[in-house]
Amino acid sequence: MGLSRKQFAILVAMKEAETPLTQRELEKKTDFSLGTINKVIKELSEEGLIENGVVTEKGVDALEPYRAKRAVFIAAGFGSRMVPITLNTPKPLVRVHGKRIIDTLLDACVDAGIEEIYIVRGYLAEQFDQLLYKYPNLRFLENPMFNEANNISSAMLARHLLSNSYVFEADLLLSNPKIITKYHYTSDFLAIPKDRTDDWCFAVKDGVIKEEKVGGENCWQMVGISYWNKEDGEKLEKDVPSVYDGPGGKERYWEQVPLVYCKDRYKVEVRECKEEDIVEIDTFRELKEIDKSYDV
What does the pLDDT read at residue 85?
84
- Nearest CA-CA partner of 273 in 194, 200, 208, 161: 194
CA dihedral of residues 256, 258, 262, 266 (deg, nearest 10): -160
Tally the residues of the chain: 296
Q: pLDDT tens, 69-89?
A: 999 999 998 878 888 888 899
Parts of the chain belonging to CATH 1.10.10.10: 5-65
Q: Say if CB 154 and CB 171 are below 8 A apart.
A: no
Residues of the chain with pLDDT under 50: none
Query: HSE-up of 149 (CA within 13 Å, CB side)?
Result: 23
Q: What is the largest CA-CA distance in the chain?
A: 65
Cα separation of 157 and 54, whole Å?
Answer: 41
Q: How many angstroms separate the first and last alpha carbons of the chain?
A: 60
Q: State residue 296's pLDDT score.
A: 74
pLDDT tens digit string along 247-269?
999 999 999 999 999 999 999 99
Amino acid, single-letter form, for residue 263: K
Q: Considering the domain 67-294, what is its CATH architecture? A: Alpha-Beta Complex (3.90)
Q: Write down the CATH number for the domain with range 5-65.
A: 1.10.10.10
Give the pLDDT score at 103.
Answer: 97
Task: State how far the Cα of 7 lies from the Cα of 123, in Å rounded to an integer.
Answer: 45
Helix (H, G, I), strand (E, B) or coil at 23: helix
**Predicted pLDDT of residue 1:** 64
Q: How far is C-alpha 81 from the chain's CA centre?
A: 23
Paired residues of 173 in beta bridges: 279
Q: Structure pTM?
A: 0.94
Q: Please list the residue range(s) of the chain that carry CATH number 3.90.550.10.
A: 67-294
Can you tell me the distance from the alpha carbon of 79 to that of 121, in angstroms, rounded to the nearest whole number? 13
Which residue type does 225 have?
A: I
Dist. CA 139–CA 97, nearest whole Å? 26
Question: What is the pLDDT, as a whole number, of residue 18?
Answer: 76
